[in-house]
Structure 1
Amino acid sequence: MIPTKVQEEQAVMIVHTLGPKGTNCEKAGRLWLKNQGLRGEVRLYETLEEALLHVKITENSVLLGCAVYPFLHNIVFENLLDLKIIDSFVMPTYSMVFAAKPNTSETEIKTVASHPAPAHLAKLFSDHVQLVTSNAQAALACASNAADGCITTIKAADENNLQIIKDFGEVPMCFTIHGLKKI
C-alpha cells in the first residue's frame, strides 16, 4: 500500500475532537482513521478548543474539526504558526432531528437545547434556545429536563430515549484535519 500524503507527513494515532460520545465529530474521526488505514483512537472533549490543547502536547495526533463549528476560524488563525490543515473530507452527519422526552407534545416545549451550529433549526420551535457544546450534549440536556426539547442527532436522541418530532435528515458536512507543523 502506498502511503497517503497525510501518512507521510505524520503517523497519526490519536484524533482529538468534540464529544461527548455519539457526536458527528466522533463518527468522522473513526471514518478518517479507517480511510487513512490507520489504527488509532478518537478522544473526546467538551470543546474543540480544549481538544486543541491536547493536540499540542500529544505526539502522533491531530484535531478533527467541523466546518460549521462556530469558532473554527479562530482555531485556524490563532494557531497559524504551529498548526495547519492537513486534510478535509465530506461525510453525511447522523440525521439531525428535533426531539423531546416521550409523550411530550410540541406545544409543551418552551426551551430547546442546541449546539450553536444548528441553532437556527431550534428557533423554528422556540424563541428560547439554550446553547450547549455539542449535538450530543443537547440530547443530554433534554433527557435530564434541563431543556424541553433539543436539536440533536438521531443517534443521540435514540441513546437518550427521546422521541423524534421532526427529522431533518443527514447533512453532507465537511470535516477538517489539523496537524502540527514540522519544525
Structure 2
Amino acid sequence: MLNERERTRGGRTALRPRLVAAGWDYLVIAAWLALLAAVFVPLSRAGAGFGGLGALGTDLLITALSVLPVGAYLVMGEAGRRRATWGKRRAGLVVALGGGGRPGAARIVARALVKLLPWQCAHMAVSRLVRDPDSAVAMPLLVAAYALAGASVVLVLTRRDRAALHDLVTATRVVPSP
C-alpha cells in the first residue's frame, strides 16, 4: 500500500522523485562522459585515429568505455545494500520487487541491460552513419533506440505506478525507501 508521500492526486505514484533521481544519475553519467571526452578528443586531434577498428571494433570500444561503466554504476548501486544509485538515494528511492522485496543481482543486471539498450543502439547507429552515411543497418538501429527510449518515457508518464520499460521487463519498481 502506498503512503501519502508516494501518491499524488488521483492515486498516481509521484513523478518528481523519479525525475530528480534520473537528473542526479545523469550528472554522474555526464561526468564520466566528460572525462572520456577530455581523454579521447585530444588523442583524436593529435592523430590517434580509431577508424581502423572497423564497425565491430568501434562498437566494442564504445561499449567498453561508456556503456559498460554506466551499467556497472547502475548495477552496483541497485544490487547493493541500499538498492539505489546515488541519484535514487538522493531522491529517497530504492529499486524493489512488486511486493517490496529485494530484487536479485540477475534481475538488476537485466534491468540495466534493458535500460541501456537504447543507448547502445544509438551508439551503433551513429558509428555506422559516420563510416557510411548510406548504411542499411544504421537507420533500424536509430529507430530502435528512439522507439525503446520513447516507450520508456511514455510508460513513466502514463502509468499510475510510473514503471518504465526496464521495470516492466524485470518486474521491478522504483519506490520510496523504507
Task: Say whether the fold is shared (TM-score over 0.5).
Answer: no
TM-score (norm 1): 0.24
Question: Which of the two has higher C-alpha Rg?
Answer: 2
TM-score (norm 2): 0.25
